Amino acid sequence: MAMQEIEVTINGTRYEEMVEPRMLLSDFLREVCGLTGTHVGCEHGVCGACTVVLDDAAVRSCLIFAVQADDRSILTVEGLAQNGELTTLQKNFKENHGLQCGFCTSGILMAATDFIEKKPEADSQEIKEMLSGHLCRCTGYDGIVKAVEKTIEENKNSVKELNT
Amino acid sequence: MTQSIGTPVNRVEDDRLLTGQGKYMDDIGTPPNTAQAAILRSTYPHADIISIDTSEAEKVTGVKAVITGEQIKQYMKPFSVGVSAPVKYYPVAVDKVRYVGEPVAVVLAKNRYIAEDALDKIKVKYEALKPIVDIEQSLESDAPLLHENVGSNIANHRTFDYGEVNQAFEQADHVIKHKYHFPKYSAIPVETYGILASYENSEDCYTIHANFHGPFVIQAVMAQALGIPGNKLRIVVPKDIGGSYGIKAGAFPYMVLLAITSRIAGCSVKWIEDRQEHLSASSSGTDRVTYIEAAVKKSGKVTGLRMKMIDNVGAYIRAPEPACLYRTHANSTGAYDIPNLHIEAIATMTNKLPTGLIRGYGGQELYFPLERLMQRVAKELVMDPADVIRENIIKKHQFPYKTASGGIYDSGDYEKGFELAIETGKYTEFRRKQQEARKKGKIFGVGLANIVEPSGSNMGYITVALTPEERASSLPKSGCAEAATVSMDPTGSVNVRISTTPSGQGHETVAAQIIADVLGIPMDKVNVVAELDTSTSAWSIASGSYSSRFASLGSSAVFYAAHKVKSKLFKIAAHQLQVEASDLELKAGSIFVKDNPEQKYSLKRAVGTAHWNPLALPEGMEPGIYETYYYTAKNTEPPDEQDLINSSVTYGFVSDLVTVEIDPETANVEIIDYVTIHDAGKLLNPKIVDGQIFGGLAHGLGGALYEELAYDSKGQFLTGSFMDYLCPTAPEMPKVTIKHMETPSPITPLGAKGLGEGNTMSAPVAVANAVSDALSPYNIEIDTLPLSPNYIWRLLAKSDIYQKHKEVNA
């Protein structure tokens, strides 16, 4: 199959690669770019493990072709922590036991990062509805919901502190 | 330093998993020239294979090989299994297919895309045979036969009598019986099976990397099937496994399949299972029909129990089946004092996916009929179900309690746990509210379930599948060995190697906690190596992650290995200080004389001596610090001639109370409150404990309400995607209250018992009891699962009382 050249910025780094038009974005991230933090769980858009942030929206990388990401920006789980410092969300996942095997975690972190940015005041029910796009078979979701709630609460508090 | 064990410390695994640095099977890289595999699967439930034409597939550019069952068969024998029925099970169909999804051929290609292109070009001619999927029909003499050479579909059949069962039934005031059906469902880890297999002909050796978590007795099964000595089959399990809940024990046939394709093609072979393959053709829980009857006194006391359990092990019985029938053998009477017990156990084969380990294994299948029957006893005797439970539950003074079938419940206070559930769930108050709500046409119910949670399997229990005479001809099997290695390097830092192949349960964290406590060093100085390599790790047949065995066995091995290291360090220090080792104590990196703390020797120096200056060690001591401990609990004897067996090491207790409301418009079951009381002995890390409970409960609720691997009556598979197989998501989780009691186990050194499977066992029946209770005014009884809205709707539609009631209300 004919190859196509694409340019994608991932976590701030530019990748210029030749890909088959049928290559999934998830496979591109993992196999071509070596970013194995994005996981593949179902390849039909239900489990949410492969979620990444494409430009400014959380998307299922298993439902997008790599060529569709041409000339666009992607944030993956590897791009969250800066200089070894976990984000507030990541820290709260740790504090609240929001992960066990960790396989679904990358996708949930990406979806939640995008969600918190767009809905900084979200309540528990909205958090659960956002999480309904993700399957976790370890935690029963309790720690995950708490981690997102806590992050929203802490963000609100730090905004208040800035304002005073 | 304060004790770490017993405190909710954060996990050491989390940083790598939160930053995308986990090393799962698909992340470990491959040797150059590795072929990617795709598997052609049967679309027929039961058919003869007339021909397979691979020629067009082989022509596809990038394809390295197309391999069929006939070729695979040349390099292996059928897998052995612990029953006498001569079932020939290969990891790929030979001559005949027996379930939808069964492998028929393997394509190896440059990449997965090409491999899947080539699958479409393989032409298979089938001749359809009559399928059989119904458990009871499969036992009939004219049922279609899956394995002609076996002569019937029955893979295993045993009967057991304990106590005076007939007498109990003769003297009973009531005999209460019913038939229950527990459906086929699965565990569905988000990571699927992943395998990288390589064959080296110069050494005639197979190396298989796989997210397989044991039991490692299956390593011997695989080596035997491949016709090689165990040391020619190296299995490497990555440190991160993306969930399993038992299901990944079923990866072993694929490991052998891929290993042989590597041999045939002359290159490494990698395969990552896709979701449809996982749902249709990995492994699953066992569906069971149970005929259960209880001999009951007027008081509600159950004096005897008869159970006929028929397990559907799918198209081929494979290890560790028929263990689902026997894993709970010692705790067959659950949390109740029932001295007389008759069990008839049958494993039958049908045209469905073969079964295997799953979270709760055997427990949900056992407790569904048992706890449903206890509620039925209450109904027929017009008693409160809570009073029937009180009448029968094992009392505190009876511990250690010997069960009818040979179990020894090590510790517990079940009455207290049960009453705590009743109180926490406000049972009496709910009953009152329920009466009022019923008057308004609302459908409320409350369900109770009390279960004993076994952990740490006795490797002898599976041999109960054989008669005492059959067992006598081979080596008895007992114990539950687990190993751990604790070493200290020349710089004084600690490495711990475990063989419990964790898949999210936080074994690394708890192992580090134990080391920190025993050796008095900070947790973050401990490096835990969870990767298992059968060529270099200390392991035994029982090793692996199943039967909640880390808290009872894995942690014990780590504990004793750490004590071996401590003992050696004390001997070194005692020699240097010219005192007795028994006079020494360890604190904050320093070994000192108890009566004279000024006289001390640093831990670092003691380690350093063992490495840098071994000539200064006491006479006869080996250099280095590297200690392995193999632990087994002593209460795991082989089954005796009367088939008495203590099938597990420790037994925890779970008491659940769940309240539900059913929407009359949609028949949807909504859980109002879920209360679960746990006694798992000493809790090693309460944070991890609650995480395990939530996860086990979510899986249990999935089994109760949503999850089923469904087949139509012709054997066609109906749930091949997440649109059809429904797993609970965050909004489906109810409000949950967890409370703990800690009755330490006298068996394990830390007093811990396993946990994490309890609610997977209890929730299906707790919810079924609640729904039954809710629907009792309409004379509706729940005897199968899952309790989907369409299922409940059908029950309501069939209920004359409900229909009349609706008319009156309208």
Domains of chain B: 35-129+193-272 (3.90.1170.50), 287-460+638-809 (3.30.365.10), 482-631 (3.30.365.10)
- The answer, for A38 touching chain B at a CB cutoff of 8 Å, is yes
Q: Which of residues 65-124 of A touch B (CB under 8 A)?
A: 76-78, 80-81, 86, 90, 93-95, 97, 99-106, 109
Contacts with A74 from chain B: Cβ below 8 Å: none
CB distance A35–B17 less than 8 Å? no
Q: List the single residue in B505, B690, B733 with the smallest CB-CB distance to A141.
A: B733
Angstrom distance (rounded) from CA B520 to CA B760 = 37
Note the pLDDT of residue B760: 98
Contact present, A75 and B478 (Cβ < 8 Å): no
Residue B579: its H or E element:
none
**Distance between CA atoms of B636 and B460, rounded to whole angstroms?**
8
Residue B249 pLDDT > 60, yes or no?
yes
Interface of B with A in 254-283 (CB under 8 A): 272, 274-275
pTM over 0.95: yes
Digit-coded pLDDT (tens) for B504-516:
999 999 999 999 9
- The domains found in chain A, sorted by start residue, are 4-79 (3.10.20.30), 88-158 (1.10.150.120)
State the nearest Cα–Cα gap between A109 and chain B, in angstroms. Answer: 8
Q: Please state, for a pLDDT cut of 70, what percent of chain B lies above it.
A: 100
- Name the pairing type of β-strands B302-312 and B340-348: parallel
Interface contact A132-B730, CB threshold 8 A: yes
Write the pLDDT tens digit of every residue in B413-425: 999 999 999 999 9
Q: Does B29 touch chain A (CB under 8 A)?
A: no
Q: Residue B706 gets which letter from DSSP?
A: T
- Chain A residue closest to B728 (CA)? A135
Which pLDDT value is given to residue B708? 98
So what's the pLDDT on residue B1? 54
Q: Which percentage of chain B shows pLDDT scores above 90? A: 97
Window 519-578 of B: residues touching A by CB (8 A cutoff) are none
pLDDT band at B189 (very low <50, low <70, confident <90, very high): very high
The C-alpha of B128 sits at a distance from chain A's nearest C-alpha, in angstroms, of 31
What secondary structure does DSSP assign to B456-490, as a single string?
Answer: EE-TTGGGGGS-HHHHHTS-------EEEEEEE-T
> Per residue of chain A (164 residues), what is the pLDDT tens digit?
699 999 999 999 999 999 999 999 999 999 999 999 999 999 999 999 999 999 999 999 999 999 999 999 999 999 999 999 999 999 999 999 999 999 999 999 999 999 999 999 999 999 999 999 999 999 999 999 999 999 999 999 998 888 87
User: Any idea what DSSP says for residue B655?
Assistant: E
* Residue in B22, B188, B687 nearest the CB of A102: B22
Q: Over chain B, what is the mean pLDDT?
A: 97
pLDDT of residue B605: 95
Which among B113, B191, B695 has CB closest to A41?
B191
- pLDDT computed for residue B772 by the predictor: 98
pLDDT at res. B46? 98
**Residue B662: is its pLDDT beyond 60?**
yes
Tokens 């800035």 found at: A162
Per-residue pLDDT reduced to its tens digit, A102-125: 999 999 999 999 999 999 999 999
pLDDT at B496 over 70: yes
Answer for the pair B31, B265: CB distance below 8 angstroms, yes or no.
no
B306 vs A: CB within 8 A: no
The kind and range of the H/E element at B405 are: none
pLDDT at residue number B544: 96
Are B571 and B607 in contact, with CB atoms under 8 Å apart? no
- In chain B, the residue whose alpha carbon lies closest to the alpha carbon of A99 is B14
Nearest to B412 by CA among B646, B654, B694: B654
How far is it, in rounded angstroms, from Cα B722 to Cα A56? 27
Question: Please, which pLDDT band fits residue B588 given cuts at 50, 70 and 90?
Answer: confident
Residues of B in contact with A40 (CB under 8 A): 26, 272
Edge to edge, the sheet with strand A72-75 lists A13-19, A4-10, A72-75, A51-54, A57-60
Q: Where are the beta strands (DSSP E) in B218-372?
A: 233-237, 269-272, 287-296, 302-312, 340-348
Cβ–Cβ under 8 Å, residues B496 and B484: yes
Q: Which of B13, B18, B25, B282 is best to mutate for the A interface (most A CBs within 10 A)?
A: B18
Q: Which residues of B touch A100 (CB under 8 A)?
A: 243, 504-506, 691-692, 695
User: What pLDDT was estimated at residue B388?
Assistant: 98
Interface mutation vs chain B, best among A80, A137, A142, A149, most B CBs within 10 Å:
A137
pLDDT in tens, B44-92: 999 999 999 999 999 999 999 999 999 999 999 999 999 999 999 999 9
A104 contacts on B by Cβ (under 8 Å): 190, 242
